[in-house]
Amino acid sequence: MLRLPAVSGRFYPSDPAELTALVRQYTQVDQNAAPAHVKACLVPHAGYVYSGPVAGAVYARVILPKKILILGVRHYPHGEKAAILSNGAWRTPLGDAPIDEPLAEALRAACPLLREDSVAHETEHSLEVQIPFVQILQPGFTFVPVALGTARFEDLVAVGDAIGRVIASSGEETLLLTTSDLNHYESDAVSRVKDHKAIDQILALDARGLYDTCRNEAISMCGLGPTVAMLTALKTMGGARAELVRYATSGDVSGDYSTVVGYAGMLFS
């Protein structure tokens, strides 16, 4: 199937030249560290004006491989709770990004919880906004889209374990590109405290700790599920070293600190 863009012209520019220039701007940041191969990364997924600089700081640090598994959120209550697409392509203003069918089939075989479902992906923005970054930085890539709406810890662990086993046994470098925003719609001061409680658990690579912290502290991290699955996959893949690349809130752009969304960009090598 051909998945058409759902948020082009709203979350990011619909004009190819403008979109390319914006991605180049966000990824040409002043970094002391050279780009490197990593196992996974965590990037936000709001409109580019808000989260683009944080996402760009991460992409600037990553040597993107040809194969990418994008693990995102199912924000809307439509479709399967663990949804995968195994064939076709996703269109953006920059062209069509093909789905990696062998990788998708291997993942479906390893994880029965994943269901083929276009409905969950049809209007979902968390995965879509990553694709222009990758199209510009690694032309010719293939990817697998997975959207998680489930909040059951055991299900998230099952998905993450399957992802880790498939990537570890594939024999090819595959990036686990995970996307989440952090706390939503509280003051900047409150959000920063809550966000760093979640970030501390992610830096510790503690999937259970992150899940419990977000639940116990009422941290409205929309990509809690994907991040728990990612941390589980990393454990299955043999561990990792976590690094916080950049943190910001929407208030840093809007100037409105009364109600913000938090954004973290992280690497796992």
Asked if 212 contacts 144 with a C-beta cutoff of 8 angstroms, the reply is: no
CA nearest neighbour of 138 among 27, 258, 220: 27
**What is the per-residue pLDDT across 153-189, written as a single tens digit (0 to 9) for each?**
999 999 999 999 999 999 899 999 999 999 999 999 9
State residue 1's pLDDT score.
86
**pLDDT confidence of residue 31:** 66
* pLDDT at position 38 over 80: yes
pLDDT tens-place string over residues 113-161: 999 999 989 999 999 999 999 999 999 999 999 999 977 999 999 999 9
- Report pLDDT for 240: 79
**Measured between alpha carbons, how far apart are the two ends of the chain, in Å?**
33
> What pLDDT is recorded for position 76?
84
What value does the mean pLDDT of the chain take?
96
Rounded mean pLDDT, 65-73: 97
Q: Which residue spans within 74-157 are E strands per DSSP?
A: 82-84, 89-92, 95-98, 115-116, 142-148
Question: Do 24 and 54 form a contact (C-beta atoms < 8 A)?
Answer: no
- CA gap 45, 55 in Å, rounded: 8
Q: What are phi and psi of 193, to 5 degrees?
A: -65, -50
pLDDT at residue number 79: 87
What is the average pLDDT across 72-89? 92
Q: How far is CA 150 from the centre of its chain?
A: 16
Q: Which residues pair with 228 in a beta bridge?
A: none
pLDDT at 30 over 70: no
In this prediction, residues 62-91 reach a mean pLDDT of: 94
